[in-house]
Amino acid sequence: MIGYEIIAKKRDRHELTREEIDALVRNYSSGKIPDYQMSAFLMATYLNGMSFQEITDLTLAMRDSGIVLDLSDIPGVKIDKHSTGGVGDKISLILAPLAASMGVTVPMISGRGLGHTGGTLDKLQSIPGFDIFISTDRFRSILKSIGVSMIGQTEEIAPADRKLYALRDVTGTIESIPLISASIMSKKLAEGIDALVLDVKVGNGAFMKTLDRAVDLAQHLVMIGEGAGKQTIALLTSMDEPLGQAIGNWLEVAESIEVLKGKGPTDIRELSVILAAYMKSMADQKISYDVAYNIAAENLDNGKAFSKFIELVKHHGGDFTLIQNPQRYPKAALIKEVTAQNEGFVVSMNTYEIGMTGILIGAGRQTKEDSIDHTAGIILHKKVGDSIKKGDCLATIYTERETRLDEASRKLLNAYRIDFNAPDKQPLILGVLDKNGFRSI
Ligand code: URA
């Protein structure tokens, strides 16, 4: 009866006790509560919300569904970063080795693609051999030897999030502040960090469409982190257009390699450098944000961050020769250009639709069981503010799925709004929130 009573209580908008939340998570993790009951609970939570106490209890119950790592024997301050999810968001692939190249220890637990957004784990798995499910002993030993390791939720670490994450993905229950908060923070509190930097996405390609909602989410995340004794800050960053040009797993790895070599799109470079500067200045109080910013930029230009990425791939069993020679990676069988039908400026992009187009052509999952085509994806040649002539190539589609090409082209074309007047430039970073509150920058 435990599942039924808790679902009914949440359906009727009553506050759940810690014991009830613990029982729900414990019994779901052990398989006693089936997916269909948990789906009903997730939907009741999505619709009726949770008090801050309930969210904290859910986070801690999910954290305690597995082990909580103690990394105190590994020298240095351990800091991770987590994004609430976006399209073309490959920042973790760059940031984790970049911060490690600056002396920050980065134990990172990431997720798969969720809804229309991509996931760091899927991107890492596009590197042949890269093992994201190493044992905790191996995770610790990689961290000790190179200062960075990247894994997924496992049977040992945050297993409840692993199951719930996959279930939310297919039950229309992603965009919920309580569920996102508990999902992110349960993983982060299990990984043995001292401090955390969050990238809370805002805009038409984010789960939080408005700044108010994003600030609300950021406040929850920061309060949970600080309540658990971890210094936590959140940057609020724009997701009104995809990050960079590449969408799709290997295409995003290839673009990350460019940025790690001091090249690549400026929005990705800038956000990576800013986040690394926060991580470094939090890890080492003697280093100011501005000094840390310069070190981060230097380490992208001098090859240190790239070398760290190669080490990371090597230690996880990945084929690092492909990182050294990305042009050797196989290409998708079908390549199609989407061209502009009129002239003007790109005034906006429907980032959600672009993410959904990526899923349609095989870069993400439509059901829990779907496998991903690592070569599938989109390269955007035009972004907001760019001027367009009729016939210009807006985007290139890479896929194996011939039957989806026409629909994907139509969706991409419709995702671009082209008009005569150039739009105002929108900032990438909208503000920062820490325990003292929100400030715009
Ligand atoms: N990232 C997570 O880990 N969980 C969410 O629910 C959203 C983004």
Closest CA to 243 of 254, 234, 233, 255: 255
For the chain, 441 residues long, give each residue's pLDDT as a single digit of tens: 679 999 999 999 999 999 999 999 999 999 999 999 999 999 999 999 999 999 999 999 999 999 999 999 998 999 999 999 999 999 999 999 999 999 999 999 999 999 999 999 999 999 999 999 999 999 999 999 999 999 998 889 999 999 999 999 989 999 999 999 999 999 999 999 999 999 999 999 999 999 999 999 999 999 999 999 999 999 999 999 999 999 999 999 999 999 999 999 999 999 999 999 999 999 999 999 999 999 999 999 999 999 999 999 999 999 999 999 999 999 999 999 999 999 999 999 999 999 999 999 999 988 777 889 999 999 999 999 999 999 999 999 999 999 999 999 999 999 999 999 999 989 999 999 999 999 987
Shared domain check, 304 and 181: yes
Closest residue to atom 8 of ligand 1, CA basis = 84
Domain assignment present for 67 = no
Shared domain check, 86 and 13: no
Q: Which residue range is the domain that position 31 belongs to?
A: 3-49
Count of domains for the chain: 3
The CATH number given to whatever domain includes residue 402 is: 3.90.1170.30
Shared domain check, 306 and 276: yes
Query: Residue 360 to residues 118, 270, 281: CA-CA distances in angstroms?
Result: 13, 30, 41
Query: Residue 242 to residues 334, 396, 407: CA-CA distances in angstroms?
Result: 22, 14, 20
Write down the residue that tokens 């469409």 correspond to: 209
CB-ligand 1 contact for 377 (6 Å cutoff) = no
Closest residue to atom 2 of ligand 1, CA basis = 184
Shared domain check, 225 and 117: yes
Domain assignment present for 62 = no
Shared domain check, 276 and 174: yes
CB-ligand 1 contact for 158 (6 Å cutoff) = no
Q: Which of 84, 87, 151, 173 for mutating ligand 1's site (highest number of atoms within 8 Å of CB)?
A: 84
| Strands 387-388 and 377-380, sheet pairing | unpaired
Q: Which residues contact 71 (CB under 8 A, 6 or more apart)?
A: 78, 105, 107, 140, 143, 191, 192, 193
- Cα 220 to ligand 1 centroid, rounded to whole Å: 13
- pLDDT at position 91 is 98
Domain assignment present for 188 = yes
Domain assignment present for 278 = yes
Domain assignment present for 73 = no
Give 125-146 as a DSSP string: HTSTT--S---HHHHHHHHHHH
Closest residue to atom 6 of ligand 1, CA basis = 180
Residues serving a catalytic function are 82, 161, 168, 183, 187
CB-ligand 1 contact for 351 (6 Å cutoff) = no
Shared domain check, 347 and 271: no
Domain assignment present for 72 = no
Q: How far apart are CA 126 and CA 122, in angstroms?
A: 6
Closest residue to atom 1 of ligand 1, CA basis = 84
- pLDDT at position 191 is 93
- pLDDT at position 1 is 60
Task: List the end-to-end C-alpha distance of the chain, in Å, as a whole number.
Answer: 51
- Measured in whole angstroms, how far is the alpha carbon of residue 75 from the centre of its chain? 27
CB-ligand 1 contact for 124 (6 Å cutoff) = no
Shared domain check, 265 and 381: no
CB-ligand 1 contact for 183 (6 Å cutoff) = yes
Shared domain check, 225 and 371: no
- Cα 76 to ligand 1 centroid, rounded to whole Å: 27
- Cα 354 to ligand 1 centroid, rounded to whole Å: 19
Closest residue to atom 3 of ligand 1, CA basis = 184
Domain assignment present for 60 = no
- pLDDT at position 367 is 78
The CATH number given to whatever domain includes residue 25 is: 1.20.970.10
pTM for this prediction: 0.96
The CATH number given to whatever domain includes residue 87 is: 3.40.1030.10
Shared domain check, 238 and 140: yes
Domain assignment present for 61 = no
Shared domain check, 190 and 247: yes
CB-ligand 1 contact for 85 (6 Å cutoff) = yes
Give 186-202 as a DSSP string: HHHHHTT-SEEEEEEEE
CB-ligand 1 contact for 84 (6 Å cutoff) = yes
Shared domain check, 170 and 111: yes
Shared domain check, 353 and 401: yes
